Amino acid sequence: MSDGATPGALRRAAAEGIGTFGLVFAGCGAIVVNTTTGGAIGHVGVALTFGLIIMTMINATGHISGAHFNPAVTLAFAATRHFPPALVPVYLAAQLGGAVAAAAPLRALFGPVARLGATGPAGTAGQSLLLEIVLSFFLMFVITAVATDTRAVGGRRPSRSAGRWRWRRSSRGRSRARR
């Protein structure tokens, strides 16, 4: 599958796993630290952590794997024919593996912190579902537009646009620990 110009599937999967690990470890770690310290990091600090880590991981691994870090992104790119369907299972396994591998040291470091990095609905189930659909749509819209249309980015780096969107999205969410 590798022709010298594109990294092999194993290298791409490793980049996805490392990027997903970084996102989950730093982002969920910020939530856990914020919870265990009574809000020392704050809502903005948690949001900045997510935005900065996604930007960092995109810059570090984007040239290797495309920096999906989320099964929804991989599936969206495959559905829009911007990603080879044969690599979808490889990416999904790497993303799941990276997320689980990141959760393990958090658990070891912080123990059974209630709702480790979990978020919960602040309204009814219907309101929460609608909010998740709308926010996920815009997240996917930004990612697919920035990653697949060179006119959408202009002179900016795609990681900055995606990082800003991730920060904005995570700064709107509510954590159960903060309710």
Cα distances (Å, whole numbers) of residue 22 to 5, 13, 49, 137? 26, 14, 11, 23
Name the DSSP class of 99: H
Q: Which two tokens stand for residue 31?
A: 């939530």
pLDDT at 123: 82
Q: Which two tokens stand for residue 23?
A: 């996102």
* Contacting residues for 72 by C-beta, under 8 A, at least 6 apart: 136, 140
pLDDT at 67: 92
pLDDT at 139: 86
Distance CA 171, CA 167 (A): 6
Phi, psi for 6 (deg, rounded to 5): -120, 140
pLDDT at 140: 85
Given a contact cutoff of 8 angstroms between Cβ atoms, the answer to whether 34 and 177 are in contact is yes
Distance CA 107, CA 119 (A): 17
CA 34 to chain CA centroid, nearest Å: 19
pLDDT at 80: 87
Q: What parts of the chain have a pLDDT lower than 50?
A: 1-5, 174-179
pLDDT at 4: 44
Smallest CA-to-CA distance from 70 within 152, 146, 148, 143 is with 143
pLDDT at 145: 82
pLDDT at 40: 94
Instruction: Give the model confidence (pLDDT) of 133-172 as tens digits.
Output: 898 888 888 888 887 777 765 555 555 555 555 555 555 5
Distance CA 142, CA 161 (A): 8
pTM to 2 decimals? Answer: 0.75
Could you state, in order of their start, the residue ranges of all structural domains in the chain?
Answer: 9-178
9-178 CATH fold: Glycerol uptake facilitator protein (1.20.1080)
pLDDT at 176: 44
Distance CA 97, CA 20 (A): 8
* Contacting residues for 42 by C-beta, under 8 A, at least 6 apart: 34
